[in-house]
């Protein structure tokens, strides 16, 4: 990820706050209507046994990130909760930070991402994306809208992750100002595995 999107337009976090409130309400309602559970774990299928939870396995690791051959940051991508989710911990060369939570919804069979940076008050500092494509080479594409102030132009944002080999990933972030008719490169990075 890169903070180059941050100065585009000051952002509103109202959309993310509304989504968070909706999610909290849905979880509360679901908890209230759910039957009581025992204190022991259920015998349901583990995340590790469901192939859908392995879509981002190629990206798990510690990465040195370069843009045009120059060091741009370090990204640590980790599976958590017994393989049920993936976190990303980004630190750019200038000291900026960002974190993602990627989670798989097994009933809809799709991944979502929530990205938050230390520049969350600027457009691009918060993102919510959904998986829209899985490619034959194992690569993925996530897409969403960048939140902005009321009345601002809609900005679409997509990230394509392409494994080049087991130790190298290409990340391309693009934005569209015309509803997806055309896309321009916002960030083009090479990830090299450190471990």
Report pLDDT for 44. 65
For 67-89, write each residue's pLDDT tens digit: 999 999 999 999 999 999 999 99
The lowest-confidence range among 6-10, 122-126, 176-180 is 6-10
Q: Which of 5, 17, 195, 35 is nearest to 98 (CA)?
A: 5
Strands 97-105 and 70-80: unpaired
Q: pLDDT (tens digit, 9 = 90+) per residue, 106-137?
A: 999 999 999 999 999 999 999 999 999 999 99
**What pTM did the predictor assign?**
0.77
Q: Is 189 helix (H, G, I), strand (E, B) or coil?
A: strand
Q: Which of 61, 64, 60, 80 is nearest to 72 (CA)?
A: 64
């Amino acid at each position: 990820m890169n903070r180059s999107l941050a100065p585009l337009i000051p952002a509103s976090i109202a959309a993310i706050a509304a989504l968070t409130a909706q999610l909290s309400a849905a979880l509360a309602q679901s908890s209230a209507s759910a039957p009581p559970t025992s204190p022991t774990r259920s015998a349901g299928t583990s995340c590790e046994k469901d192939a859908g939870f392995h879509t981002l396995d190629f990206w798990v690791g510690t990465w040195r990130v370069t843009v045009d051959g120059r060091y741009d940051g370090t990204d640590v991508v980790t599976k958590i909760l017994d393989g049920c989710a993936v976190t990303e911990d980004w630190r750019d060369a200038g000291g900026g930070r960002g974190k993602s939570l990627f989670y798989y919804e097994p009933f809809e069979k799709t991944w979502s991402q929530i990205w938050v940076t230390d520049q969350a008050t600027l457009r691009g500092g918060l993102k919510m994306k959904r998986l829209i494509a899985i490619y034959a080479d194992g690569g993925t594409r996530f897409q969403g809208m960048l939140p902005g102030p009321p009345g601002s132009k809609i900005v679409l944002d997509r990230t394509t992750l392409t494994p080049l080999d087991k130790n190298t990933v290409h990340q391309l972030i693009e934005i569209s100002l015309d509803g997806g008719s055309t896309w321009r490169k916002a960030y083009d990075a090479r990830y090299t595995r450190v471990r």
